[in-house]
Amino acid sequence: MKTVRAAAALLFASLTLSTLAHAGEHVPSGGPGSVLDTPSHGHRLDVGGSFGFNNAGGLGSFTGFGLAADLRLVDFLSVGAGAGRGLWGYRFTAHSRVYPLGVSRSFFLQGALAHNLGHKSWLDEEDDVGVRVIRSAATTANASLGYRMDMGVRGWLAFEAGWAFRLDPARYHTSGERELTDTEKQVLRFSRPGGVVLGISGGFSVL
């Protein structure tokens, strides 16, 4: 009887020590490639800011700063939205990302729709005569490749590059007492939504 009690006590002590030894270890709560297996410890919602050219994080038409969010629905798919302002007015985006190798492998393919509201502006006067430029609303369809990396427990950083396809002409017209100069026309053409997508974004993971 004493032998059985001693064996039971020894087994209990062994199990207790083993449990305590593993308590401090990080045990992934998902398989390889799973959102729950990433260094962000399973936080599924990224929120933060974005900067770049035509990127889907919420920037305006040229460069600027926007706010963006991305929600990972499953291991290989996320959806998100952004809002910001640029040279073509306020911009709102909706995007979706596919992680072919799983989110913990970081690489993603992204598709987005970005709608620029357009706006009115008064260009600097030339010979005491100014001109008003009215930019029409414009929408682009963006396709890009990206890389997302975790920064500690909650931080993240993402890079993307691709192309924004204009779905409408992004027109503008003027009113005033003079014509646009060649330089002003070039700036307006260059600032239209569409073209090369380059972006960097970062922030914190929550939920």
pLDDT in tens, 120-139: 888 776 566 778 899 999 99
DSSP letter (8 states) at residue 104: G
Q: Which residues contact 206 (CB under 8 A, 6 or more apart)?
A: 43, 45, 47, 154
pLDDT of 12 reads: 39
Please identify which residue in the block is written with the tokens 């204009």: 166
* CA pair distance 22, 43, nearest whole angstrom: 23
Over residues 78-104, the mean pLDDT reads 87
Please identify which residue in the block is written with the tokens 């270890």: 25
The pair of structure tokens assigned to 186 is 């070039």
Q: Is the pTM for the entire model greater than 0.85? A: no
pLDDT of 126 reads: 58
Q: How many CB atoms lie within 10 A of CB 97?
A: 24
